[in-house]
Amino acid sequence: MFRYFPYLCGVKSDVQIEKISKALSDASRIAILQQLRTRDCLYCQEVYDFLDLTQPSISHHLKLLVDAGLLIPIKEGRNLKYKLNEPVLNDYIASLNGLKG
Amino acid sequence: MFRYFPYLCGVKSDVQIEKISKALSDASRIAILQQLRTRDCLYCQEVYDFLDLTQPSISHHLKLLVDAGLLIPIKEGRNLKYKLNEPVLNDYIASLNGLKG
DNA sequence: GTAACACATCGAAACATTTGAATATATAAA
DNA sequence: TTTATATATTCAAATGTTTCGATGTGTTAC
Protein backbone atom coordinates (compact mmCIF):
# COMPACT_ATOMS: atom_id res chain seq x y z
CA MET A 1 0.00 0.00 0.00
CA PHE A 2 2.86 2.36 0.86
CA ARG A 3 4.44 1.40 -2.46
CA TYR A 4 1.57 2.80 -4.43
CA PHE A 5 1.10 5.98 -2.43
CA PRO A 6 4.61 7.13 -1.67
CA TYR A 7 3.43 10.74 -1.29
CA LEU A 8 1.06 9.70 1.47
CA CYS A 9 3.79 7.63 3.00
CA GLY A 10 6.03 10.65 2.92
CA VAL A 11 3.55 12.84 4.76
CA LYS A 12 1.43 11.10 7.35
CA SER A 13 3.91 8.36 8.01
CA ASP A 14 6.90 10.64 8.55
CA VAL A 15 5.09 12.52 11.28
CA GLN A 16 4.34 9.25 13.03
CA ILE A 17 7.89 7.97 12.67
CA GLU A 18 9.28 11.25 13.94
CA LYS A 19 6.98 11.43 16.94
CA ILE A 20 7.33 7.82 17.98
CA SER A 21 11.08 7.86 17.40
CA LYS A 22 11.30 10.90 19.64
CA ALA A 23 9.36 9.05 22.32
CA LEU A 24 11.78 6.15 22.02
CA SER A 25 14.91 8.27 22.10
CA ASP A 26 15.34 8.44 25.85
CA ALA A 27 16.77 5.85 28.23
CA SER A 28 14.13 6.37 30.91
CA ARG A 29 11.29 5.88 28.48
CA ILE A 30 12.85 2.77 27.00
CA ALA A 31 13.24 1.42 30.55
CA ILE A 32 9.52 1.95 31.07
CA LEU A 33 8.71 0.04 27.90
CA GLN A 34 11.16 -2.71 28.85
CA GLN A 35 9.24 -3.25 32.07
CA LEU A 36 6.09 -3.82 30.07
CA ARG A 37 7.84 -6.57 28.15
CA THR A 38 7.28 -9.05 30.98
CA ARG A 39 4.20 -7.54 32.56
CA ASP A 40 0.79 -6.91 31.12
CA CYS A 41 0.42 -3.54 32.72
CA LEU A 42 2.48 -1.19 34.83
CA TYR A 43 1.35 1.09 37.61
CA CYS A 44 2.60 4.64 37.57
CA GLN A 45 3.78 4.13 41.15
CA GLU A 46 5.95 1.21 40.13
CA VAL A 47 7.93 3.39 37.80
CA TYR A 48 9.34 5.22 40.83
CA ASP A 49 10.98 1.97 41.87
CA PHE A 50 13.20 1.54 38.85
CA LEU A 51 13.64 5.12 37.65
CA ASP A 52 15.70 7.45 39.78
CA LEU A 53 13.66 10.48 38.93
CA THR A 54 11.17 12.70 40.69
CA GLN A 55 7.45 12.33 40.27
CA PRO A 56 7.06 15.27 37.82
CA SER A 57 9.82 13.89 35.60
CA ILE A 58 8.24 10.47 35.48
CA SER A 59 4.87 12.04 34.79
CA HIS A 60 6.51 13.90 31.89
CA HIS A 61 8.03 10.76 30.37
CA LEU A 62 4.80 8.82 30.68
CA LYS A 63 2.96 11.67 29.01
CA LEU A 64 5.33 11.58 26.03
CA LEU A 65 4.80 7.84 25.65
CA VAL A 66 1.03 8.23 25.88
CA ASP A 67 1.04 11.18 23.44
CA ALA A 68 3.03 9.11 20.99
CA GLY A 69 0.36 6.44 21.33
CA LEU A 70 2.76 3.82 22.64
CA LEU A 71 1.09 3.55 26.05
CA ILE A 72 -2.57 3.33 26.93
CA PRO A 73 -3.38 4.98 30.28
CA ILE A 74 -6.02 3.26 32.40
CA LYS A 75 -7.39 5.09 35.39
CA GLU A 76 -8.18 3.04 38.50
CA GLY A 77 -9.49 5.28 41.20
CA ARG A 78 -6.64 7.58 42.08
CA ASN A 79 -4.10 5.27 40.54
CA LEU A 80 -3.07 5.07 36.94
CA LYS A 81 -1.78 2.07 35.08
CA TYR A 82 -0.40 1.71 31.59
CA LYS A 83 -0.58 -0.91 28.89
CA LEU A 84 1.59 -1.19 25.82
CA ASN A 85 -0.32 -0.19 22.70
CA GLU A 86 0.90 -2.98 20.47
CA PRO A 87 -0.94 -1.89 17.30
CA VAL A 88 0.85 1.46 17.42
CA LEU A 89 4.19 -0.23 17.94
CA ASN A 90 3.36 -2.56 15.06
CA ASP A 91 2.48 0.37 12.79
CA TYR A 92 5.75 2.00 13.67
CA ILE A 93 7.62 -1.19 12.88
CA ALA A 94 5.71 -1.46 9.60
CA SER A 95 6.72 2.10 8.70
CA LEU A 96 10.34 1.23 9.38
CA ASN A 97 10.05 -1.87 7.24
CA GLY A 98 8.65 0.44 4.56
CA LEU A 99 11.97 2.27 4.53
CA LYS A 100 13.54 -0.81 3.06
CA GLY A 101 11.89 -0.12 -0.29
CA MET B 1 17.32 -15.10 23.21
CA PHE B 2 16.27 -11.76 24.69
CA ARG B 3 13.81 -13.67 26.83
CA TYR B 4 16.50 -15.52 28.64
CA PHE B 5 18.87 -12.61 29.09
CA PRO B 6 16.67 -9.67 29.91
CA TYR B 7 19.48 -7.93 31.77
CA LEU B 8 21.61 -7.98 28.65
CA CYS B 9 18.67 -6.86 26.64
CA GLY B 10 18.20 -4.01 29.04
CA VAL B 11 21.76 -2.80 28.66
CA LYS B 12 23.28 -3.12 25.23
CA SER B 13 19.99 -3.05 23.42
CA ASP B 14 18.65 0.05 25.10
CA VAL B 15 21.65 2.06 24.04
CA GLN B 16 21.09 1.00 20.45
CA ILE B 17 17.39 1.75 20.56
CA GLU B 18 18.04 5.14 22.09
CA LYS B 19 20.70 6.12 19.58
CA ILE B 20 18.87 4.91 16.50
CA SER B 21 15.57 6.35 17.71
CA LYS B 22 17.30 9.70 18.14
CA ALA B 23 18.61 9.46 14.60
CA LEU B 24 15.09 8.77 13.39
CA SER B 25 13.47 11.54 15.39
CA ASP B 26 13.93 14.33 12.88
CA ALA B 27 11.93 15.11 9.75
CA SER B 28 14.97 15.92 7.62
CA ARG B 29 16.67 12.66 8.47
CA ILE B 30 13.54 10.65 7.78
CA ALA B 31 13.26 12.42 4.43
CA ILE B 32 16.80 11.30 3.64
CA LEU B 33 15.93 7.70 4.47
CA GLN B 34 12.70 7.94 2.48
CA GLN B 35 14.72 8.83 -0.60
CA LEU B 36 16.70 5.65 -0.18
CA ARG B 37 13.50 3.66 -0.26
CA THR B 38 13.35 3.84 -4.06
CA ARG B 39 17.02 4.29 -4.83
CA ASP B 40 19.93 2.04 -4.07
CA CYS B 41 22.21 4.86 -3.06
CA LEU B 42 22.00 8.59 -2.61
CA TYR B 43 24.63 11.21 -3.33
CA CYS B 44 25.26 13.83 -0.70
CA GLN B 45 24.75 16.46 -3.37
CA GLU B 46 21.28 15.17 -4.13
CA VAL B 47 20.16 15.82 -0.60
CA TYR B 48 20.44 19.56 -1.28
CA ASP B 49 17.68 19.16 -3.85
CA PHE B 50 14.99 17.98 -1.49
CA LEU B 51 16.10 19.45 1.84
CA ASP B 52 15.89 23.18 2.27
CA LEU B 53 18.94 23.39 4.47
CA THR B 54 22.48 24.66 4.14
CA GLN B 55 25.40 22.35 3.44
CA PRO B 56 26.66 22.22 7.06
CA SER B 57 23.21 21.28 8.35
CA ILE B 58 22.87 18.50 5.83
CA SER B 59 26.36 17.31 6.67
CA HIS B 60 25.31 17.25 10.32
CA HIS B 61 22.19 15.18 9.66
CA LEU B 62 24.05 12.71 7.47
CA LYS B 63 26.67 12.34 10.19
CA LEU B 64 24.02 11.45 12.76
CA LEU B 65 22.58 8.80 10.45
CA VAL B 66 26.04 7.37 9.78
CA ASP B 67 26.97 7.45 13.47
CA ALA B 68 23.79 5.58 14.30
CA GLY B 69 24.83 3.00 11.73
CA LEU B 70 21.79 3.52 9.56
CA LEU B 71 23.73 4.82 6.57
CA ILE B 72 26.93 3.51 5.04
CA PRO B 73 29.08 6.29 3.53
CA ILE B 74 30.92 5.44 0.35
CA LYS B 75 33.56 7.82 -0.90
CA GLU B 76 33.86 8.33 -4.63
CA GLY B 77 36.59 10.76 -5.41
CA ARG B 78 35.48 14.03 -3.91
CA ASN B 79 31.88 12.90 -3.82
CA LEU B 80 30.18 10.90 -1.16
CA LYS B 81 27.26 8.58 -1.52
CA TYR B 82 25.22 6.71 1.05
CA LYS B 83 23.58 3.34 1.21
CA LEU B 84 20.99 2.19 3.70
CA ASN B 85 22.47 -0.22 6.23
CA GLU B 86 19.65 -2.73 6.24
CA PRO B 87 21.11 -5.09 8.88
CA VAL B 88 21.21 -2.22 11.38
CA LEU B 89 17.66 -1.25 10.57
CA ASN B 90 16.66 -4.88 10.93
CA ASP B 91 18.37 -5.14 14.31
CA TYR B 92 16.55 -2.04 15.44
CA ILE B 93 13.25 -3.50 14.27
CA ALA B 94 14.07 -6.74 16.07
CA SER B 95 14.73 -4.82 19.29
CA LEU B 96 11.37 -3.13 18.95
CA ASN B 97 9.69 -6.45 18.38
CA GLY B 98 11.44 -7.57 21.55
CA LEU B 99 9.50 -4.93 23.46
CA LYS B 100 6.38 -6.91 22.77
CA GLY B 101 7.41 -9.50 25.33
C1' DG C 1 -15.75 18.21 55.88
C1' DT C 2 -10.58 17.55 56.14
C1' DA C 3 -6.54 14.87 55.78
C1' DA C 4 -3.79 11.90 52.95
C1' DC C 5 -2.54 10.10 48.57
C1' DA C 6 -1.78 9.91 43.36
C1' DC C 7 -0.89 12.31 39.57
C1' DA C 8 -0.66 16.74 36.58
C1' DT C 9 0.93 21.28 35.62
C1' DC C 10 3.84 25.42 36.01
C1' DG C 11 8.14 27.79 36.00
C1' DA C 12 12.86 27.94 35.73
C1' DA C 13 17.53 25.97 35.40
C1' DA C 14 20.56 22.83 33.02
C1' DC C 15 21.52 20.54 29.04
C1' DA C 16 21.14 18.96 24.14
C1' DT C 17 19.92 19.69 19.32
C1' DT C 18 19.38 22.28 15.16
C1' DT C 19 20.88 25.70 12.19
C1' DG C 20 23.93 28.63 9.34
C1' DA C 21 28.05 31.78 8.55
C1' DA C 22 32.75 31.28 8.35
C1' DT C 23 36.45 28.45 7.65
C1' DA C 24 39.15 24.18 6.99
C1' DT C 25 40.28 19.98 4.46
C1' DA C 26 40.51 16.93 0.74
C1' DT C 27 40.14 15.72 -4.01
C1' DA C 28 39.99 16.69 -8.85
C1' DA C 29 40.71 19.77 -12.88
C1' DA C 30 43.27 23.03 -15.41
C1' DT D 1 50.62 24.33 -8.67
C1' DT D 2 46.94 27.08 -8.68
C1' DT D 3 41.90 26.85 -8.88
C1' DA D 4 37.50 24.95 -8.34
C1' DT D 5 34.45 21.62 -6.12
C1' DA D 6 32.69 18.51 -2.36
C1' DT D 7 32.37 17.72 2.25
C1' DA D 8 33.74 18.49 7.26
C1' DT D 9 34.47 21.33 11.25
C1' DT D 10 34.06 25.30 14.30
C1' DC D 11 31.40 28.57 16.69
C1' DA D 12 27.46 30.87 18.18
C1' DA D 13 22.49 31.77 18.17
C1' DA D 14 18.03 29.84 18.43
C1' DT D 15 15.27 26.31 19.84
C1' DG D 16 13.91 22.06 22.17
C1' DT D 17 14.33 18.65 26.00
C1' DT D 18 15.02 17.12 30.61
C1' DT D 19 14.74 17.84 35.28
C1' DC D 20 12.96 19.29 39.73
C1' DG D 21 10.69 22.34 43.32
C1' DA D 22 6.41 24.22 44.10
C1' DT D 23 1.79 23.98 43.53
C1' DG D 24 -2.75 22.43 41.60
C1' DT D 25 -6.36 18.87 40.84
C1' DG D 26 -8.84 14.91 41.64
C1' DT D 27 -9.84 10.80 44.54
C1' DT D 28 -10.13 7.97 48.57
C1' DA D 29 -10.15 7.49 53.69
C1' DC D 30 -11.27 9.13 58.04
Å between B57 CA and C18 C1'?
8
B76 touches chain A (CB under 8 A): no
β-bridge partners, A83: A41, A72
Question: pLDDT exceeding 70 applies to what percent of chain B?
Answer: 85
Average pLDDT, chain A: 89
> Of the candidates A37, A35, A40, A65, which has an alpha carbon nearest to the alpha carbon of residue A51?
A35
Tell me the C-alpha distance between B71 and B38, whole Å.
15
Nucleotides of D under 7 A from a protein CB: 5-11, 17-22, 26-28
For residue B94, give Cα distances in angstroms to A5, A89, B54: 26, 12, 35
B94 touches chain A (CB under 8 A): no
Taking residue A67's Cβ as centre, other Cβ atoms within 10 Å add up to 12
Is there a contact between B11 and A4 (Cβ–Cβ < 8 Å)? Answer: no
Under the banding of pLDDT at 50, 70 and 90, the label for residue A15 is low
Residue A18 has pLDDT above 60, yes or no: yes
Tell me the C-alpha distance between A84 and A30, whole Å.
12
A67 touches chain B (CB under 8 A): no
Predicted pLDDT at A101: 81
Q: What average pLDDT score do residues A70-92 get?
A: 97
Residue B2 has pLDDT above 50, yes or no: no
The residue among B79 and B4 whose pLDDT is bigger is B79
Is there a contact between A36 and B39 (Cβ–Cβ < 8 Å)? Answer: no
Residue A7 has pLDDT above 60, yes or no: no
Predicted pLDDT at A8: 40
Q: pTM of the prediction?
A: 0.89
Predicted pLDDT at B14: 65
Under the banding of pLDDT at 50, 70 and 90, the label for residue B66 is very high
For residue A24, give Cα distances in angstroms to A27, B14, B17, B91: 8, 10, 7, 15
Predicted pLDDT at B15: 62
Taking residue B10's Cβ as centre, other Cβ atoms within 10 Å add up to 15
Q: What angle do CA B55, B68, A39 make, to 5 degrees?
A: 140
- By C-alpha to C1' distance, C9 is nearest to A56
Residue A81 has pLDDT above 60, yes or no: yes
